Amino acid sequence: MPPVISVESLSKSYRLGVIGSGTFTNDLKVWVARMRGKPNPLLKIGQEDHGNRVGEEIWALKDVTFQVEQGEVLGIIGRNGAGKSTLLKILSRVTAPTSGSVKVKGRIASLLEVGTGFHPELTGRENIYLNGAILGMTKAEVKHRFDEIVEFAEIAKFIDTPVKRYSSGMYVRLAFAVAAHLESEILLVDEVLAVGDAEFQKKCLGKMGDVASKEGRTVLFVSHNMGAVQQLCQKSILISEGRVLLAGDSDKVIKRYLSAENNDISNPIINTEFHKIRSGIGGAKIVKIEIRNQDNQLSSIIGIAERINVLMQVEFLHDFSGIVIGIEIWNQKGIHLLNLRSDSQSKFFGPVKHNEIVDFFISIPGLPFYPGEYIIEPWLCEKKGKRLDHLHNAVTISLQSRHNLKAEDFFQPGKGILLIDCDWAIR
């Protein structure tokens, strides 16, 4: 059986700074002026010309090739700006590729952003019928599914209210319900489910699983929630800078995604100068991280439940009266396990001065997790303020059995996370 979706050598480029004026006449005036070496005649006095970037372009996608079979749920993962949403927009025919080909067999229902395909002035009821018409369904077909859609979205009370008055969560509820229940062979879902509450996200994941397994429809699922991808998708593709880095089993792809290039498990000292995956409002920068075992020796291999010592060296770019430091710990499936923070124990640091470099020490009594690899992400924030710097996927440590806790031979993936040192006896 031929694949439902076949993507061959797909590429998409954008020209930076090239913005149309809105009319052909004005675009022609700008072009003529540029050819004559004169400034843009449409610019206001004192306004800079940001559109004169001849030849500059960015490749959102480059030589992307993959296939999706009928009834398959494919996860698409990668950093922000990797090209995931651009790929879905091309598959949805929202935008055209620069080169390459896309072959799609069947109708597509896409959920790319909150409110996609909704008319704000129409009611929820009217938008359901409008989306059905866009997918090529008759009024009778939409009516047959109408009650299921409303029940799933849980907005029956507001179904005759214009959707412009809906909250973002209500938008997502209705949009997903419409996309999942109408008769389309392919369902494309971008990160919009992050807007919904936890219970609704769980409901949506269950529905997408049913759509594929029971109805034989195909789902492409873009998400930064690795737990959801691992639960829902048997296969995934990893996109980085517009290219497919890895395709195959989801566990393998997720593990590759969570392992940053500078995240070497054999290296307990991380210089963060070139670390790309960081967030925060600035004002301070984490410049070095060290991992030491309970004997205070540099090592990223730690015994289960044994003490871990972490050095976080920070360069301050401004003065701060008070600082909070913390550490997040994740597993290789993208599950957020711990967020350790100094203010939870009434511990604040400061004041600190501009250009001051400070070494912070965090001593963790032990991590009672099963053997495996875990990710440490250090962060700091101003007292009662926003995070100044947060290093994502910063350091990987390996927890191994020591002494009485010997779990490697008995550990079953998916059968728990915590490993507790207990007393066992018979009486």
**pLDDT tops 80 at residue 404:** no
At 417, list the tokens: 């996370």
Using CA atoms, how far apart are residues 231 and 224, in angstroms rounded to an integer? Answer: 13
Using CA atoms, how far apart are residues 382 and 283, in angstroms rounded to an integer? Answer: 9
Question: What pLDDT sits at residue 261?
Answer: 43
What are the distances in angstroms from CA 356 to CA 28, 92, 162, 389?
A: 55, 51, 55, 16
Using CA atoms, how far apart are residues 323 and 347, in angstroms rounded to an integer? Answer: 9
Using CA atoms, how far apart are residues 52 and 31, in angstroms rounded to an integer? Answer: 10
Q: Which residue has the tokens 């540099």?
A: 298
**pLDDT tops 70 at residue 194:** no
Residue 395 DSSP SS3: strand
Axis-axis angle for helices 139-153, 124-134 (nearest 10): 130
pLDDT confidence band for 81 (50 / 70 / 90) = confident
pLDDT confidence band for 410 (50 / 70 / 90) = low
C-beta neighbour count of 41 within 10 angstroms = 10
Using CA atoms, how far apart are residues 297 and 278, in angstroms rounded to an integer? Answer: 27
DSSP letters for 44-97: PTT----S--TT-EEEEEEEEEEEE-TT-EEEEE--TTSSHHHHHHHHTTSS--
Q: State the first-to-last Cα distance of the chain, in angstroms, to the nearest integer.
A: 63
Contact 355, 283 (CB under 8 A): no
Question: What pLDDT sits at residue 299?
Answer: 85
Using CA atoms, how far apart are residues 43 and 275, in angstroms rounded to an integer? Answer: 39
Question: What pLDDT sits at residue 262?
Answer: 40
Question: What pLDDT sits at residue 340?
Answer: 93
Question: What pLDDT sits at residue 363?
Answer: 93
Using CA atoms, how far apart are residues 279 and 393, in angstroms rounded to an integer? Answer: 12
**Model pTM score:** 0.60
Using CA atoms, how far apart are residues 328 and 26, in angstroms rounded to an integer? Answer: 53
Least confident segment among 117-126, 319-328, 412-421: 412-421
Least confident segment among 43-47, 123-127, 329-333, 404-408: 404-408
Q: For 316-367, write each residue's pLDDT tens digit.
A: 999 999 999 999 998 877 788 999 999 999 999 989 999 999 999 999 988 8
Query: How far from chain centre, in Å, is Cα 274?
Result: 21
Query: How far from chain centre, in Å, is Cα 85?
Result: 11
Q: Phi-psi bin for 343: left (phi > 0), alpha (psi -120 to 50), beta?
A: alpha
What percent of the chain is predicted at pLDDT more than 90? 23
At 336, list the tokens: 């957020």
Residues with Cβ < 8 Å from 88, sequence gap 6 or more? 76, 110, 112, 188, 190, 220, 222
Using CA atoms, how far apart are residues 251 and 78, in angstroms rounded to an integer? Answer: 14
For residues 310 and 193, the model is more confident at: 310
Q: Which CATH architecture has domain 5-11+61-257?
A: 3-Layer(aba) Sandwich (3.40)
**pLDDT tops 80 at residue 26:** no
Residues with Cβ < 8 Å from 131, sequence gap 6 or more? 109, 117, 118, 178, 179, 182
Where do the structural domains in the chain lie, given as residue ranges?
Answer: 5-11+61-257, 17-55, 269-400
Residue 318 DSSP SS3: coil
Least confident segment among 111-120, 178-187, 204-213, 293-302: 111-120
pLDDT confidence band for 250 (50 / 70 / 90) = confident
Give the mean pLDDT of the chain: 82
**pLDDT tops 50 at residue 276:** yes
Mean pLDDT calculated for residue range 275-298: 86
Question: What pLDDT sits at residue 5?
Answer: 92
Find the helix or strand (DSSP H, E) in which 376 lies: strand 372-382
DSSP E strands, 171-303: 186-189, 218-222, 235-240, 243-249, 269-271, 278-279, 284-292, 301-303
Phi, psi (degrees; rounded to nearest 5) at 183: -80, 75
What DSSP character marks residue 162? B
Using CA atoms, how far apart are residues 64 and 126, in angstroms rounded to an integer? Answer: 38
Phi, psi (degrees; rounded to nearest 5) at 247: -135, 140
At 235, list the tokens: 């296969």
Contact 348, 335 (CB under 8 A): no
At 11, list the tokens: 């590429």
Residue 250 DSSP SS3: helix
At 287, list the tokens: 């410049």
C-beta neighbour count of 411 within 10 angstroms = 14
pLDDT confidence band for 231 (50 / 70 / 90) = confident
The listed range with the strongest mean pLDDT (20-29, 82-91, 195-204, 402-411) is 82-91
Mean pLDDT calculated for residue range 36-52: 65
Mean pLDDT calculated for residue range 286-299: 89
**pLDDT tops 80 at residue 24:** no
Q: For 127-153, write each residue's pLDDT tens digit.
A: 889 888 877 778 888 888 899 888 888
In CATH, what class is 269-400? mainly beta
* Cα angle value 95/100/106 (rounded, 5°): 65
Q: For 57-69, write each residue's pLDDT tens digit.
A: 788 899 999 999 9
Mean pLDDT calculated for residue range 412-421: 70
Mean pLDDT calculated for residue range 143-164: 89
